Amino acid sequence: MVHSTIPRARRARGGRSDALVHHARRLADEAATAWDLPHRTVALIVLLPFAIMLAGGLSALLGKGAYKWVTGEDGVAETLQATFYALSLLLAVGIVGRLWRGGRRGVACLYALVALGLCFLVGEELAWGQRVFGWTTPESLEAINKQGETTLHNIEGVGYAFKWAQLLVGAYGAILPVLLPWWIEGSAAWARARGFLAFVIPHFTLIPCFAFMFVWRLYRNLFEEPTNYYFVISEYNEIVELVLALGFLLFMAFQWRRLGAGRRALV
């Protein structure tokens, strides 16, 4: 009996392993087709958020000076955030134009709202030009702003709501791409809405960009502030925000490619 069950168990494990490999290959092929890019390029897109998170952690090991250069005010992370959001804004405006000309007026209006949101994010990252032009923060705003700047997300109370908004955005991009296949397979109505959902739910290859923010905000919003390594942990938020900004840029790039000239008609 023992000898007869071992091969059967091995076959079962081998079958599960083969099924996982087959599923992974199917997902890789689907992602390459959706992006219309080579498999290696799509793999880099998936791995880039992990690389940024790792690089942020390694910069902390290099010392406080290096870490502040990366995560500090107007540091590498903040500069890249502003750049990514600005590029996302440009793509969003272009997407609005393509959708409008293509007769998808409802989705175009939705992306116009997204463009306004991105404009707000760019303004907040640049302190609405204060860092560029060097004007003085009004006393009334400086008194309630944690950083003494012309920004809204650093105002006491508003900053707290902003953190929960980040958690919701992270959950949106991390969870809905997983649920989408179930909805489409389980409901004819969801299947008919597939074209619209592809415009509003990130592709599953972008899950890491949003999942890091979701997990990070769960930790920072629900648990007490750490007593050990407080500076390192609190400033690491800039790295996570950079990954989220990358997620927005990649999401817009994905939609831009879907709407590109010469592409097949969208369902």
pLDDT (0 to 100) of residue 262: 41
The pLDDT, as a whole number, for residue 226 is 82
Beta bridge partners of 145: 155
pLDDT less than 50: residues of the chain: 1-2, 261-262, 264-267
Closest CA to 114 of 140, 101, 96, 132: 96
pLDDT of residue 166: 94
* pLDDT at site 2: 47
For residue 126, the model assigns a pLDDT of 78
pLDDT of 36: 93
CB 67 within 8 A of CB 232: yes
Round the average pLDDT of the chain to a whole number and report it.
84
